[in-house]
Amino acid sequence: MAEIKTPIIAVNFKAYFPYSFGEYAVMLARAAKRVWEETGVQIILIPPATEIKTIINEVKDTEILVYAQHADPIEPGAKTGYLPLEGLKKAGVHGVLLNHSEHRLILADINFLIQKAKKLGLQTLVCADVPETGAAVAILNPDIVAVEPPELIGTGIPVSRARPEVVTNTVNLIRKVNKNVLILTGAGITTGEDVYAAIKLGTVGVLVASAIVKAKDPYTVMKDMAIKAKEAMT
């Protein structure tokens, strides 16, 4: 299993059209590769399932990690339209994003997927909407927990500034039950300063989407975030 370093900039491509697909997705991957080469910051790219193989090919021979946006809590078989972890591993991903507010799972299914991912050698990044949910999923021992208040997602209002108590409460609750899980925050993260503030609140990085994916110059936005993340960690 690939090592996860810190600080972390995790980029969720979502399903923005055309930004998350085709040549746009390749452009995002190339921007990430350039930022990684220049800063050494851990970047996790989370493209749509249709783009996984393309993105993996673009960032090969780097330490950039590629995750799937979702997996279904099923065993492989006669399950039309589902994404089993086994298939995602075969596609070459390093891990999987689970329980995003736009694709929620019940706790039992999150546990099923975390445990199966471990057996398959895949990493898990599990989202939580509130501190209590963050602590609940941390008990299941994923690799990363990301707290994202749904009401701030896509608003450009960063959780690290608008509701810093959500971040600090999440960190405090999670550390009571899991000393080792990595903690990110997301929702409204737009600038390097937002990333800096998030890390100073006790996280090791951020989960970002539209601020990078829909940016006119994704490289510049990502580079600013990476630089500020390094500053905050040191």
- What lies within 8 Å, CB to CB, of 161 at 6+ separation is 194, 197
Distance CA 21, CA 43 (A): 19
* Active-site residue, 148 included: yes
Helices within the chain (DSSP H only): 22-39, 52-58, 85-91, 107-120, 131-138, 159-162, 164-177, 192-200, 210-213, 218-233
Overall residue count recorded for the chain in this entry? 234
- Quote the tokens at residue 84: 């089993």
Q: Which member of 100, 102, 132, 165 is catalytic?
A: 100
Do the beta carbons of residue 94 and residue 113 sit within 8 Å?
no
Q: Which member of 70, 148, 151, 231 is catalytic?
A: 148
Distance CA 71, CA 61 (A): 25
So which residues are the catalytic ones?
A: 100, 148
